[in-house]
């Protein structure tokens, strides 16, 4: 298996969901599956799936019969580089921050939640699944001292930019932003923004046009 550099971004984005499907099938005692089955469960077409495997350099497909799930899982993991562990923090201990902290999805795939941050005194000192809540003032130092790579921002819009600045100052290089603010960051920092309101708006759009 050869790890081609220059796999399309969109392909990489689908790998986690493929991995989840494979895990689920393995858990049901299956050892192999066709691209049709795998793709169906992941919500893509079989061609798309095969193309992705091809681009990623996976070779555990067997013509005429399908893919060996165990081998495929290994290949996808390698492709995703999931060996190294990555530390992250969550800023904002409101409902969303708590939801994220307790989400099982956040504790998989080599990711470690190292700390949470909030401005409210009532939040500071609390603990979720063994992870403590610190005061926002500590953010920069914490990020630096613990070699945190990713900052998840779950604060109100007004506080988002400041949180981002502190995290970046401490050395964070990736930001997952749940506030609707468009963050201003250096080019070297990767930002993904998930605007929950905008997502719902998109569906509303669809709902209206469907009449």
Partner DNA sequence: GCATGTGAAGTGGTTCACAGCA
Partner DNA sequence: TGCTGTGAACCACTTCACATGC
Q: Could you say whether residue 120 binds its own copies (CB under 8 A)? A: no
- Those residues with Cβ within 8 angstroms of residue 40's Cβ, 6 or more apart along the chain or in another chain: 46
Radius of gyration of the chain (CA): 20
The residue among 45 and 65 lying less far from its own copies, judged by its C-beta, is 45
Number of residues in contact with its own copies under rule CB under 8 A: 60
Centre a 10 Å sphere on the Cβ of residue 34 and count the other Cβ atoms it contains.
Answer: 17
Binding segment toward its own copies, per CB under 8 A, in 35-43, 52-60, 65-73, 134-142: 35-43
Nearest CA to 40 out of 10, 58, 67, 18 is that of: 18
Instruction: State the binding string over 45-84 for its own copies (x if CB under 8 A, else -).
Output: -----------------------------------xx--x
The reply to whether 103 sits near its own copies by the rule CB under 8 A is yes
Residue with tokens 């063994």: 130
Which residues, in sequence order, are bridge partners of residue 113?
Answer: 88
**Candidate list 6, 13, 121, 158; residue touching its own copies; CB under 8 A:** 13
Separation in Å, CA 89 to CA 7, 55, 78, 105: 28, 32, 25, 15
Binding to its own copies (CB under 8 A) within 135-154 occurs at 149-150, 152
Minimum gap (Å) between residue 173 Cβ and DNA = 21
Tokens 């992250």 belong to residue? 88
Stretch that binds DNA, among 30-38, 139-147, 154-162, 185-193 (CB under 7 A): 30-38
Task: Give the pair of three-digit tokens for residue 111.
Answer: 């990711």
Q: How far is the CB of 7 from its own copies (least distance, A)?
A: 10
Q: Which stretch binds DNA (CB under 7 A): 22-30, 59-67, 105-113, 128-136?
A: 59-67
Q: Does 103 bind DNA (CB under 7 A)?
A: no
How far apart CA 75 and CA 71 sit, in angstroms, is: 6
């Amino acid at each position: 298996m050869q790890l081609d550099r220059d796999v399309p971004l969109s392909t990489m984005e689908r790998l986690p969901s493929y991995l989840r499907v494979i895990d689920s099938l393995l858990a049901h005692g299956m050892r192999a599956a066709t691209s049709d089955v795998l793709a169906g469960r992941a919500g893509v077409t079989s061609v798309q799936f095969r193309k992705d495997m091809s681009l990623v350099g996976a070779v555990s497909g067997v013509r005429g019969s399908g893919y060996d799930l165990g081998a495929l899982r290994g290949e996808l993991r390698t492709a995703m580089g999931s060996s190294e562990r990555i530390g992250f923090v969550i800023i904002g201990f409101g409902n969303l921050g708590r939801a994220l902290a307790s989400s099982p999805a956040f504790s998989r795939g080599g990711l470690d939640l190292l700390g949470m941050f909030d401005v409210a005194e009532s939040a500071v000192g609390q603990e979720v699944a063994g992870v403590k809540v610190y005061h926002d003032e500590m953010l920069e130092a914490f990020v630096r001292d613990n070699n945190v790579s990713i900052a998840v921002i779950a604060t109100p819009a007004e506080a988002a930019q400041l949180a981002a600045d502190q995290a970046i100052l401490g050395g964070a290089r990736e930001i997952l932003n749940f506030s609707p603010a468009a963050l201003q960051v250096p080019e070297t920092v990767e930002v993904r923004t998930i605007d929950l309101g905008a997502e719902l708006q998109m569906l509303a759009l669809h709902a209206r046009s469907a009449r």
